[in-house]
Amino acid sequence: MSDLFDAAPVQGHVPLAAALRPQTLEDVIGQGAITGQGSILRRRISAGALGSLILYGPPGVGKTTIARAVGNMLGKEFRPLHATRDGVKELRKIADEARIRPLLIFVDEVHRFSATQADDLLSICEEGTADFVGATTGNPYHALPPALVSRSTILKLEPMSIDDMEEVVRRGLAHLRKQGSDVEMSDAHIRLVAGRSGGDARRALTTLESLCLGHPGGRVTITEAMLEEAYASAAVNHDRSGDQHYDVVSSFVKSMRGSDADATLYWLARLIHAGEDPRYIARRIMIHASEDVGLADNSALQTAVAASTAVERIGYPEARIILAHAALHVARAPKSNSACRGIGAALELVEGSAPVVVPKHLRDTHYAGAAKLGHEGYRFPHDDPRGWVEQDYVPGLRPGSLYQSDARGSASFEARADRFWEELTGRRVAKTFS
């Protein structure tokens, strides 16, 4: 896939994003933690020892721009490669060239490299033949070979802030005016373009260019109708197979867990707008109905399961209402983590200790000869008027060592159950919060 930040052709139209590419780190907008004085990147440039660098972040945040600026500042020729277009042959050819003159090898979408390509790249990195910068939208700790990760400095770029994006748009307007376009754009519309670009500078500049080009006499006033046309089918930046997917899903479930109904709806809307499978969303809601609400409100799981069944039959657009219903139930319900925490503790005990011998009074008695083996002594709780008898079920297991109530004084199922069993048994239920 072509990159609007790649070197522009000598002839023909130069895209606005390419025309505004910064030549040094001082000109880069945003990413101050990476490009600022005293940063790792700056220190490596000052020492003339860049080595191997992985720039990791969403599209349009300046990965290629920073790589080119670094090449300029080091005085090294920039040699771009693309993992899907250039193979081992091109990589080895550039490596040979690097032995003659100082080069900075840049690989876009380095996560798409094959194992053979990665091996050759590793050889270049280890020998110090050339400086190397790789760009990836995928988490390098998941998407790249561990050997390449261990030999590289990894810098994460974040989506640009609204203020940074406004500066990008204003810089674009200034360039267009310098080129002869008479463009008028209100501050509100500048902020709208900045906000709708999702932290992607390339998208913002491409939208701005589309709005401004081709008007008679080069005169144009950006209007609300023009912006509506430009964004009529614009998608939210959301890669359903990459970090953006997992980050948005993580924000969604953490908002439900945190009982923030508005945030829950916002992140749910992001997932729906991006075309996320409603069945996947429903599965996440089901998990957290038990993990985060659990015994505090057993009906949350019932709602989540019903929602899962409903979206299977209905689908979008109406499924959005059902998903909102279930997500809001989880968000608004009292919270208990006791089921999730309890089974985790139980599994840890089972995996880390010798198995407990099943007590004779709990063993199966549904066959002839069980009594002769000593399988007797079980006391049937329903024979007691209280429906409960004092009985040992796991010898040596201290009460409250695995299950601890998360009742927080609310009128939840878990709180009611605590009161019931404390009154019946005369024993205090182990609680996470006293």
Q: Does residue 275 register a pLDDT over 90?
A: no
Supply the pLDDT for residue 407: 86
Q: How confident is the model at residue 234 (pLDDT cuts 50, 70, 90)?
A: low
Supply the pLDDT for residue 307: 95
Rounded mean pLDDT, 257-278: 89
Q: In the structure encoding, which two tokens stand for residue 322, read together?
A: 């059902």
More confident residue, 148 or 243: 148
Q: Does residue 4 register a pLDDT over 50?
A: no
Q: How confident is the model at residue 292 (pLDDT cuts 50, 70, 90)?
A: very high
What SS3 string covers the chain?
Answer: CCCCCCCCCCCCCCCHHHHCCCCCHHHCCCCHHHHCCCCHHHHHHHHCCCCEEEEECCCCCCHHHHHHHHHHHHCCEEEEEECCCCCHHHHHHHHHHHCCCCEEEEEECHHHCCHHHHHHHHHHHHHCCCEEEEEECCCHHHHCCHHHHHCCEEEECCCCCHHHHHHHHHHHHHHHHHCCCEEECCHHHHHHHHHHCCCCHHHHHHHHHHHHCCCHHHEEECCHHHHHHHCCCCCCCCCCCCHHHHHHHHHHHHHHHCCCHHHHHHHHHHHHHCCCCHHHHHHHHHHHHHHHHHHHCCHHHHHHHHHHHHHHHHCCCCHHHHHHHHHHHHHHCCCCCHHHHHHHHHHHHHHHCCCCCCCHHHCCCCCCCCHHHCCCCCCCHHHCCCCCCCCCCCCCCCCCCCCCECCCCCCCHHHHHHHHHHHHHCCCCCECCC
More confident residue, 196 or 309: 309
Q: How confident is the model at residue 255 (pLDDT cuts 50, 70, 90)?
A: very high
Tens digit of pLDDT for each residue in 347-368?
999 999 988 888 888 888 887 7
Spatial distance between the Cα atoms of 328 and 238, rounded to a whole number of angstroms: 23
The highest-confidence range among 314-318, 344-348, 413-417, by mean pLDDT, is 344-348
More confident residue, 329 or 425: 329
Tens digit of pLDDT for each residue in 64-111?
889 999 988 888 888 888 777 777 788 888 888 888 888 888 988 888
Mean pLDDT of the chain: 84
Q: Does residue 370 register a pLDDT over 80?
A: no
Q: Does residue 3 register a pLDDT over 50?
A: no
Tens digit of pLDDT for each residue in 191-217?
888 887 777 888 889 889 888 887 777
Rounded mean pLDDT, 20-43: 87
Rounded mean pLDDT, 277-304: 93
Q: Does residue 150 register a pLDDT over 70?
A: yes
Tens digit of pLDDT for each residue in 381-390?
898 888 888 8
Supply the pLDDT for residue 138: 81
